[in-house]
Structure 1
């Protein structure tokens, strides 16, 4: 079976979204998502909104172009629109027309603004991390009849791929945090061992007795054990620790 040009472009888009360096900028990834969607689907523009962690209000993040950016901001000002509904409901929004009699419009204040910009229909797909809904990606169209179920499925797939990249970045961050903590613990252990050796030699004690002396001194002065050990390892041994009767 021959691969079509569009299929090849879809594969390239997926690779572009998911193959990122460990320290990539999430905002850049989301902006690239909107650009790839516009390049592959019959939509005029696309934007991403997420829920603010503290207020739970939808917040515009990025858009494929200035037209979409302006309409996303307009929704925030008006307090209504597809990105508002999709982000709050945390679920996809099917293709919804922005034309018709005023009393039938889903967003009576937003729809006129969108129509003046040439947008006649909108849709949205969810953007989710595992066990967490971040928000959604909004699709804005000038010819809604041109977009079908397969197109929306592709949009969902690309949003999911992006979420996987974001989740993987979080895993890397968490992994690095754990590794840093383990490394700090290892470094602290090495310093404590050095301090035990110094006290053992200076006081002619076994290393276990030297450690007990070290710990007791730190506790009696409410000093961190690792900080006291580091001082001793550098040769700064408190005089009290060298007192043979203690």
Structure 2
């Protein structure tokens, strides 16, 4: 049976997530995970929420775009939502509609906010290893009928591939090492937002466009995304980034 284009892209996505250099950037890995999911599934956007190693409370760490970031931040502000529930329960969440008669919809404060953004259903898959739960990946949908159980299985497989990379190519390492990787991602997300803001203001770009420019520049020069972001946040913006022709 001939391999389809989508099957080939799935194989490439798994390899991209698993095969990382030894000093890879955990935050970039998790962002790549959300990007692969959006590219392969009929979801509007995706985000990753992890459990803080000290408080054990869910904290959003990255999102595929600014819409998903806003949805994650709103859940944190409200103290309710699919990302929070799934991470706290350390359980996946099936496709769950955000529409229905009053009183029948979960998350009564978050659901109206999400619907105004065009999101009509949500789901989540677990992010973790057999010996530990790390958090979850959240999927936001405008057309939930297009996401099947097989699609959620694929999303879980991609999340597993990212977890394997966090565990250093399936080598047996201690729990603290994996948690330290996640803490680096949590710490890095703030400087990423600062760098996005600097580029957005300097180049008159949307925040999504600024982040894409940041990622392209880092990858083309084999730099760590967070190191480049920290440099920009300090006001040291590479001249090439300010040149629209680059």
| Helix, strand or coil at the partner of 1:30 | helix
Tell me the residue number matched to 2:143: 143
Tell me the residue number matched to 2:229: none
Distance (Å, rounded) in 2 between the aligned partners of 1:27 and 1:109: 29
Distance (Å, rounded) in 2 between the aligned partners of 1:8 and 1:69: 29
Does structure 1 residue 118 correspond to structure 2 residue 94?
no
Tell me the residue number matched to 1:29: 29
Aligned-pair CA distance for 1:35:
0.1
Distance (Å, rounded) in 2 between the aligned partners of 1:35 and 1:8: 16
Do the aligned residues in 2 keep the contact of 1:49 with 1:61 (CA within 8 Å)? yes
Distance (Å, rounded) in 1 between the aligned partners of 2:95 and 2:148: 9
Do the aligned residues in 1 keep the contact of 2:18 with 2:169 (CA within 8 Å)? no
Distance (Å, rounded) in 2 between the aligned partners of 1:114 and 1:87: 19
Distance (Å, rounded) in 2 between the aligned partners of 1:121 and 1:30: 22
Tell me the residue number matched to 2:55: 55
- 1:142-221, aligned counterparts within 5 Å? 142-168=142-168, 171=171
Aligned-pair CA distance for 1:28:
0.5
Q: Give the TM-score, by structure 1 length.
A: 0.69
Q: Give the TM-score, by structure 2 length.
A: 0.69
| Helix, strand or coil at the partner of 2:33 | helix
Tell me the residue number matched to 2:77: 77
Distance (Å, rounded) in 2 between the aligned partners of 1:172 and 1:26: 18
Which deviations, in whole Å up to 9, do the C-alpha atoms of 1:120-160 show, x marking residues without a partner?
00000000023110000000000001110110010010011
Which deviations, in whole Å up to 9, do the C-alpha atoms of 1:136-185 show, x marking residues without a partner?
000000000111011001001001111111111695987xx9xxxxxxxx
Structure with more of its chain in helix, by fraction: 1
CA RMSD of aligned residues (A): 1.6
Tell me the residue number matched to 1:43: 43
Which deviations, in whole Å up to 9, do the C-alpha atoms of 1:202-231 show, x marking residues without a partner?
xxxxxxxxxxxxxxxxxxxxxxxxxxxxxx
| Helix, strand or coil at the partner of 2:91 | coil
Do the aligned residues in 1 keep the contact of 2:50 with 2:87 (CA within 8 Å)? yes
Distance (Å, rounded) in 2 between the aligned partners of 1:87 and 1:77: 16
Distance (Å, rounded) in 2 between the aligned partners of 1:102 and 1:25: 44
Structure 1, unpaired ranges of 5+: 178-246
Distance (Å, rounded) in 1 between the aligned partners of 2:173 and 2:105: 44
Do the aligned residues in 2 keep the contact of 1:26 with 1:166 (CA within 8 Å)? yes
Do the aligned residues in 2 keep the contact of 1:48 with 1:61 (CA within 8 Å)? yes
Does structure 1 residue 66 correspond to structure 2 residue 66?
yes
Aligned length: 175
| Helix, strand or coil at the partner of 1:99 | coil
Do the aligned residues in 2 keep the contact of 1:49 with 1:137 (CA within 8 Å)? yes
